[in-house]
Structure 1
Amino acid sequence: MALLELADVRASYGPVQVLESVSLSVPEGGAVGILGANGAGKTTTLRAISGTVRTRGTITFDGRSIRGLGPDRVAALGIAHVPEGRGTLMQLTVRENLRVGAYVRKDRKGIAADIDYCLDLFPQLHSRISSSAAALSGGEQQMLAVGRAFMARPRLLLLDEASLGLAPSTAKSVYDAIGRLRKESGIAMLIVEQNANLAFRLIDSATVLEMGRNALSGTSDELKGMDEIRRAYLGG
């Protein structure tokens, strides 16, 4: 059974329907990508899962329906969302942001150990531990956002455009760390990413959305072998 499953999911912002019919699944410990042009519905799909947009259709997580649940209840079930724009708490320090990520946890020793793990995962944050998030570079803020999501110890991580606005070398460093996190933690991931070359280094399979609908799905190797995917997303 899939950890996460969407079937015929539809979503609207007021009168504008953005998702017409989206279906996908993420296995336990798997990494699945969502590709598509701007406006295809990628971000809205993640918002539908995390409960920040009204939806119809079926959304199940670990065998139970989560459609219609609020973001707090979805997060409590083990889904962490790193939104586009990072969503760090700018007035708080790096350490405080990481602690906020663990707000539902009571294991003080485990929290301290996981903060150390985040600093090992993202060494750039080590010397910035007492700096406010507002003082960080864009890359450091993205690292902090991923680290804060990990602090909740989720079973599923939703990542929205983790490379957006970053220099190529910084984006590669962020994705290297995310890949290490996946390998060492076993967290399942659903990844929206415009830079498909980065995404394909991490994901096992992907779904391509067009105008709020599934257009193509397949393993990473299958999709990379398609001419239309290479032309549209891989610069081939």
Structure 2
Amino acid sequence: MARAVIFDFDGVIADTEKVHLDAFRKILAPEGVEILEADYFEKYLALDDKNFFTTLLRENGRDAGAEKVADFVKKKSLVTSEMLENCAFFEGALDLINSLAEARFPLAIASGALRKEIESVLVRGGVADCFSFIASAEDCEKCKPAPEIFLYALKGLNSSSTLSPPASARECVAIEDSSHGIAAAKAAGMKCVAVTNSHPAEALLSADLITLSLREIDAEKIASF
């Protein structure tokens, strides 16, 4: 039986993936680096900002030194913060978060987004207080599909919530939107619900449950895992 839920953020709670793509494009345009939308969603979606810039610069034969990448991450954060002020929430996401919190499920975020980006959107959605812990890009070196960020989120959740005894990975349900995210959750030993916000169902077949919308998921269904 599930005792805790860990959400991805971009593409699950908020419709922010294209916001990030537009911000990446704006920062990389002076370098002459183009990013096709199909490539972004297929190849780069799970990368945090640091790894995204490093990968794209290297693939295009540009300097990918640590100082330059750090500068790009900083510039992209400023651009993204402005764009996120008007981002939309996915159908059913806020209702699910609130219903899980009301059912006393400890909740966490495990995301490659920056902490301040996550927090600002959660506050705007009125659900920031529903989450006991946020694991963000600043916390882990390895991106999904590595399980590191989910394991870190679980550790933080056990430390900052009222879970007693501590929840094990097999008692956690992760909610994801990408194959890399699913792989990370499964590698961490968690069950995974995948929502088709960013990819079609056939790309998410390794999930334990696939849904077209989080409106179709409720606390009772989560508890049944």
TM-score by length of structure 2 reads: 0.32
More helix by share: 2
More strand by share: 1
